[in-house]
Structure 1
Amino acid sequence: MDLDSLTPVQRGALEQLQALTNGGDPEVAIGVLSSVDWDVQRAAEVVFDGVPPAHTSQPLPEASRIEEFEVDDSEQGLLSGRRSGREFRPVESNSLSAIVARPIRVVFNILAIPLYPLLSLLRFIFRALRLPVPNFAPFTFSTLSYRPLGPGAGREAKDPKSVAERWVLALEEETGAVCISRSGRRRTDASGSSVATGVAGPSTLTARGSAWDGSVGEGDMKLLPDFFLGSYEEFARTCQKDMKIGCIVIVSEEHDDVAEFKRSTLTDPTFVRIIQENDILVWGGDIRDREAWSAAQKLQATTYPFVAFIALQPRRAPASAEPPAPTMTILSRHQGPSIPSTSAPTAAQTLVKHLTEQLLPRVNPVLDKLRSQEAERERERALRAEQDRAFEESRRRDAERALQRAQQERAAAEEKKRAAEAEARRAAERRKAEEAKKLWEAHRMSWRRWIRRGLVVREPRPGEAVRGKTMRVGIRMPDGRRVVRFFGENDTVTALYAYVDSLFIPPEYVQDADPVSPPEGGSAGEDGLAGEMQKSGKSVDKWWGFKIVLAYPRKEIEWVPEKRIGDIDALKGGAQVVVEPVADEDGAQGKAKASAEDADDDEYHTESE
């Protein structure tokens, strides 16, 4: 393709790719760009990594697009006229090696052109046979025109941290210096306490001839800044999150100015001290590596060595509008040689002067303000978190109290339910007992009426010798009634008990209506009475429901079948007895003891026949 037929956009892409590769055959560069739809980034990947171009017009993934930084050029004249109207002319290397190397590369590119059809044919054959395509990297455009031979040639580490650490180790080997964190030095923070510095991690280097061996003084040791080990994206996010100034160092081994820059600028004690004291994060890399190349694209680097400073800065907005959130901004860019030391763009003295006189006085107040605002937000977040914790604790306590109240209410309800059930059981038992008592009283009344008809004997008549002497017995009932009854000494104790038992029959039950036979088919006489008592399962006293005792001295007259009244010494000659009720089978106390105070007031006399 002819150069004159290129559009302005294509010509700009060609110039950018040639600038990245430091020259090269334009025809080959045009062929690579046309194979990737004139995408400079993908073309550079083909050149740098030896990856065959994918013939597709699909856009790149979002992750591979170049991140746009705002550029703060208020104090610098290092940017193109597109943003500030100022123009910066890249410093070209005039060294003999660069002048000789370019014609040699052109010759190699020309000699390699006939090989491209052969390589394309071989690739077609391998793909048709579905065989793995071998790597023809020694004959690619990347190998012939860009990749130098050296310790890093042919090694491609995919892990950004490994790539960064490899570059730092190579930098230490080349400069004979050591990173601050690896030197064992410690710095003092703002509070005066000693803290370890460094991001680079432990060194695996062996002792060098003239380098620091751990026993020489500080003046004999060359130091390097601590480099951030990781990708450029991680470095930028760290600077944004920690609100620190970031320093990006990008070099290219194709430039002869890089070696002097490494030895003079990066190891300069004043520059290293400024970096350390102001806690500036440093990240570096070689343009041959993917991360460094991507960073160079985002920072618009055109000449190497390249140094840029970035930090959070507020966006420009109208005075009436609400200030927008701060964004990562390119504070300044420095590219070109480091010689002469007093005026070169990347000389240590130039960078130190720029940092101390322009960048730090202008940026530190902004970062301090942002840090104070962030600290205030952190305090507010901590306060809100503490309030949330207090609210949650209060809510938890309220929930526990509510749960405890609910448990107490449930326990009270269960206790009330148990009490109600117990009361219901007791009521049922009482009803059952009352029913049983009513049944028993009805049964007992039937027997009581039969006893009145069948077992109560009449009082003896005068001159009736068969019943023996007549004895007068005074009976005091539980309700206070006093009854006098005459018995013969040959009458049984059953006659006395039967008479007392008949006194409990209510008046409505007339004697003429009493049953003539024992209830429920029981036997007549005292034997039938004893059988009924045994059948009921009650004791004698409980069956009768009362006791007969002497008033004074108190002595019980027990019921014994067929026993004669005359055989009881206490009743010979007459006596005063008291009827005491006996509690029923439910344990009800119905005792009503009769007072015996008036027992001596009544005098009974025994009448002789």
Structure 2
Amino acid sequence: MSDAKVDLGDLTESQQLALQQFTSMTDQDLESALPILQRSQWNVQIAIAKFFDGESSDPVADALASSSSAPPPRPAVHRETLINGSTSRPPTWTDSPNFHPAPRIVPQPEAQVTSRLSFILALLFTPFNILSRLLASSFGLFSHMFPFLPRLCAFLFFHSSTRAGSLRSTSNRRSLNPRDTAARFIREFEEEYGSSEIPFLECGYAQALDRAQKNLEFLLVILISPEHDDTSSYVRETLLSPEVVDFIKNPQNNIIVWAGSVQDSEAYQVSTALNCTKFPFTALIAHTPRTGSTAMSAVARLAGPMPPATFIAKLQNSIAQCSEPLERVRVARATQQADRDLRASQNAAFERSLAQDRERTRLRREAEAAKELAEREARERAETEERRLRNLEQWRKWRAGLLRPEPGPDVKDATRVSLKMPSGDRVVRKFAPDTDVEELYAFVECYDSLNPGSASADLTVKQPENFEHNYGFRLIDPLPPRRVLDLETGGTVKDRIGRSANLFVEEDVGEEDVGEEEGEEE
């Protein structure tokens, strides 16, 4: 590992977050994690993939260390044998010369890359287009008459860039997207050889490769050439044999199958990537972390026709060779996934707990706010009531000083009123005949201030400001018919009462309460 130190304070916030996520996922120290993140452009997913694929934290330093500690390398032919007495490390399963990288191929249909010519150019090139189609049809006819011509051309132009064009010119197959191309191959395969029990994947090669890499499965790639003489016998006698079908469908072997015809662009590109030189061709591709960026390699290559037993034996040998390393990768991925699930569950539990705390805090704040509001309203009501009582007392003292004195014996037509107070006391007083009814109400309201047992009326008291007084009682004449001596009607005491009257002081109630009382009486 490099000795260069990186100051964590110089890292940005996103880089520090990526470093924290990488170390929590891989349990690596900071000095080992920084080089991988720097080479991965601080992409956490790429760095984690590189780590679990076996990439060293510092490839340059590891290479220097291995070159300084290991003896001088021997020629390749001596390292491949076990009897040459080599002192180098024993070969691992990824050092096998039979393992070839399996790159990911994503073809693009020609219909998506070819641009249409304008109408004038199309007319100019129409003769050339008709001539090319005639030549292609003629070449197809000759290829059927002389089957060796396609193989001869393929052999002569195998390493030439014009081979793709020559193969496409031999067939009039329409270029489709990978999924439709796979569906077309399966349909043509079943039309030619009958219903097949082989579970062909109906997707592109790239999707099949991604699935095999993700699920750590063995991808069996089958490439056939309909123009090859051995294709029909190979398919009927080997691929569709019961033992091969049972071997492929056995879930313990963990095999998925993708097949294609080299007449299609995608299958041809796959054959070129896998260095296919002979048809029919079968390749077994598995996850090999130390073999390149894709980490997928062809661990077995079966070219040409062969008996079913040989076919199965070679596949079994390759699967057995790769099963143990793949199992280790599966365990590592399962552990990693378990850690992710545990971390996700912990995060979910933390979020739930945090949400509950937030909810409790919100409810507590709402309760405190409601309590504070209720206390404030109660305090305001108490202050308002206290101010009202204070103003009422001041008004009573002020109004008591304005009451007219009781008429003397010389007033013959004075009105005698007997008042029964709410406390049960009966008060008898005379009023001048021209006294307003409001004076009678004011007398009752200010009786406590006029009570001989209380202080005398203070004439210096002023009327309270911004105070509207309302009498909270009514004067009732109980004699039939029962009537209310209200203030709204007005008038003098003589006009409303006469010479004398017995009145009850009754507390004023709302209209609803009066209705309820009348209903109860009925």
Provide the secondary structure at the position in 2 that maps to 1:388.
Answer: helix
1:161 maps to 2:182: no
Structure 1 position 292 matched with structure 2 position 260 = no
Indicate how the Cα distance of structure 1 residues 285 and 493 shifts in structure 2: closer, same or farther if over 3 A, else same.
closer
Distance 1:276 1:129, change over 3 A: closer
SS at match of 1:227: coil
**TM-score, normalised on structure 2?**
0.51
1 CA distance for matches of 2:255 and 2:233?
A: 23
Deviation (angstroms), 1:413: 2.5
Does residue 349 of the first structure (1) align with residue 328 of the second (2)? Answer: no
What SS is found at the alignment partner of 2:441? coil
SS in 1 for 2:360: helix
Q: Which residue of 1 aligns with 2:162?
A: none
Matched, 1:272 2:240: no
Q: Does 1:310 align with 2:285?
A: yes
- Aligned partner of 2:484 in structure 1 is none
Query: Do residues 127 (structure 1) and 121 (structure 2) align?
Result: yes
Alignment-derived partner of residue 85 in structure 1: none
1:132-188 CA-partner distances (Å, limit 9, x unpaired): 7855552356962799669x9534251323322332233334334x322xxxxxxxx
**1:585 shift after superposition:** 9.2
Equivalence for 1:327: 295
* Aligned equivalents of 1:360, 1:400: Cα separation in 2: 56
Which shows bigger deviation, 228-237 or 420-429? Answer: 420-429
Deviation at 1:252, TM superposition (A): 1.4
Determine whether 1:538 maps to 2:459.
no
CA positional deviation for 1:387: 1.3
Q: Give 1:131 deviation, angstroms.
A: 8.0
Tell me: CA distance 1:293–1:456, structure 2 relative to 1, closer, same or farther (3 Å). same
Matched residue, 1:231: 204
Aligned to 2:336: 377
Task: Indicate the SS of the match to 1:538.
Answer: helix
2:94–2:288 contact (8 Å) kept in structure 1: no
Structure 2's unaligned 5+ residue stretches are 1-91, 102-116, 146-169, 420-428, 453-492, 495-503, 509-522
The answer to whether the 8 Å contact 1:147/1:153 transfers is no
**Structure 1 residues 146 and 241: alpha-carbon distance in aligned structure 2, compared to 1, 3 A threshold:** farther
State the alpha-carbon separation in 2 of the partners of residues 432 and 125 from structure 1: 102
Within 5 Å, give how 1:23-42 maps onto structure 2.
none
The 8 Å contact of residues 137 and 143 in structure 1, kept in 2 or not, is answered as no
Deviations 1:458-483 (A, max 9, x none): xxxxxxxxxxxxxxxxxxxxxxxxxx
What is the distance in 2 between the residues matched to 1:158 and 1:406? 65
Q: Distance in 1 between the 2:386 and 2:140 partners?
A: 112
Distance 1:389 1:325, change over 3 A: farther
Matched AA of 1:305: P
Q: Structure 1 residues 326 and 368 mapped into 2: Cα distance closer, same or farther (>3 Å)? A: farther
CA distance in 2, matches of 1:303, 1:353: 20
Given that 1:311 and 1:330 are in contact with CA atoms closer than 8 Å, whether structure 2 keeps it comes out as yes
Instruction: Tell me the CA shift for residue 266 of structure 1.
Output: 0.6
**Structure 1 moving runs of 4+ over 6 Å:** 130-133, 582-586
The 2-side partners of 1:311 and 1:242 are apart by: 10
CA deviation after TM superposition for structure 1 residue 435, in Å:
2.1
Which residue of 215, 221, 233 maps to 1:248? 221
Q: 2:196 aligns with which of 161, 168, 179?
A: 179
The AA in structure 1 aligned to 2:189 is L
Q: Deviations over 1:250-275 (max 9, x none)?
A: 11123212222112221222222222
User: Aligned partners of 2:355, 2:282: CA distance in 1, in Å?
Assistant: 57
C-alpha distance in 1 between matches for 2:447 and 2:372 = 46
Residues 59-81 of structure 1: per-residue CA shift (max 9 Å, x gap): xxxxxxxxxxxx9885565979x
TM-score normalised by L of structure 1 = 0.44
* Closer, same or farther: CA 131–401 of 1 in aligned 2, 3 Å: farther
Number of the residue aligned with 1:422: 381
> Which amino acid is the alignment partner of residue 295 of structure 2?
T
Give the aligned CA root-mean-square deviation in angstroms.
4.5
Instruction: Report the secondary structure of 1:352's partner residue.
Output: helix
Q: Residue 134 of structure 2 aligns with which residue?
A: 139
Q: Aligned partners of 1:236, 1:393: CA distance in 2, in Å? A: 39
Work out the CA distance in 2 between the residues paired with 1:157 and 1:128: 21
Q: Check if 1:301 corresponds to 2:255.
A: no
Residue deviations 1:244-302, cap 9 Å, x none?
00111111123212222112221222222222221311111111101101111221212
Following the alignment from structure 2 to structure 1, what is the Cα–Cα distance between the partners of residues 294 and 354? 39
CA deviations over 1:27-49 (Å, ceiling 9, x no partner): xxxxxxxxxxxxxxxxxxxxxxx
CA contact (8 A) 1:72 1:329 kept: no
Identity of counterpart residues, as a percentage?
23
Greater RCO, 1 or 2 (C-alpha within 8 Å, sep 6+)? 2
Whichever residue aligns with residue 402 of structure 1, its letter is: T
The alignment partner of 1:248 has SS state of strand
Aligned with 2:358 (options 375, 399, 407): 399
Q: Which residue of 2 aligns with 1:601?
A: none
Distance in 2 separating the partners of 1:411 and 1:435: 36
In 2 relative to 1, CA 230–541 (structure 1 residues): closer, same or farther, beyond 3 Å? closer
Q: Which runs of 5+ in 1 are unaligned?
A: 1-70, 81-122, 181-224, 317-323, 339-345, 458-489, 498-524, 549-560, 563-581, 587-609
Contact 1:311 1:329 in 2 (8 A): yes
What is the aligned partner in structure 2 of residue 92 from structure 1?
none
CA distance in 2, matches of 1:136, 1:404: 85
Q: Is the partner of 2:202 in helix, strand or coil?
A: coil
1:105-124 residue pairs with structure 2 within 5 A? none
Which has the larger helix fraction?
A: 2
SS of aligned partner of 1:249: strand
Structure 1 distance, partners of 2:336, 2:436, is: 98
Q: How many residues align?
A: 313
Partner of 2:394: 435
- Give the CA deviation at 1:353: 1.5
Amino acid at match of 2:265: R
d(CA) in 1 for partners of 2:294, 2:348: 31
Q: Structure 1 residues 141, 412: CA separation in 2 closer, same or farther (over 3 Å shift)?
A: same
One-letter amino acid of the structure 1 residue matched with residue 278 of structure 2:
T
**Contact kept? 2:220, 2:283, Cα under 8 Å:** yes
Contact 2:179 2:204 in 1 (8 A): yes
Q: CA deviation digits over 1:523-549, x for unaligned, max 9?
A: xx9663x5447341428766655899x
Q: 8 Å contact 1:252–1:286 — kept in the other structure?
A: yes
Residue pair 2:100, 2:297 contacting (<8 A) in 1 also: no
1:96 — aligned with what?
A: none
